Amino acid sequence: MKDLFVACASLILVSFILPPSPKPFLKSKSIYDFKVEGLSGGTIDFSQFKGKKILIVNTVSHCKFTPQYEYLEKLYQKYKNKLVIVGFPTNNFDPEFSTSDSIKAFCVKNYGVTFPMSAKVSVKGGDIAPIFKWLTNKAENGVMDAEITWNFTKFLLDENGVLIAKFDSNVGPLSDDIVKYLR
């Protein structure tokens, strides 16, 4: 009995001395794990964009940067064999139309938008959409922390889904800062 007591006490003591076993490494979520509701219904599945660069943009229909829709569409048409643009309408900085149909009609009528658009989301704050939480937090995307300070902030991901750049609103879609990644 004494031997059993010594053995148990030894095991308990060793468990306090030895470091805990390491937890298995869990790969963080990839951009390809995200699925979002599309503006016209359905789902935008980011796994469908493997092998292409992805430009994610928070958009709004009424702001001084709204004319960037035209240039986003031109960029999309020129590079659509190797680039997909996904617009994310939001109310975070300026009011957006209240319905998806109104947003879509505005984008198509005024700017001829054909690139994928999500349903309206939040890009910051307590109700931030998971994809924007991933884009703006290094702990999640593995690359950078980024703050979205206004509409038409752009995030560029490479063909492997790795975040490679963030561009503020004042960087136009056809600027060399962006196009250099697509040549």
Residues that are catalytic:
63
In terms of Cα–Cα distance, which of 137, 133, 171 is closest to 151? Answer: 171
Instruction: Quickly list H helices, the chain.
Output: 2-17, 68-79, 100-111, 130-136, 138-141, 176-179
Q: Hey, how many other C-beta atoms are within 10 angstroms of the C-beta on 30?
A: 17
- String of b and e for 42-74 (b: at least 16 CB within 10 Å)? eebebeebeebbbbbbbbbbebebbebbeebbe
Cα dihedral 13, 15, 16, 18 in deg (nearest 10): 120
- How does DSSP assign 78-100, residue by residue? HHTTTEEEEEEEB-SSSPPPSSH
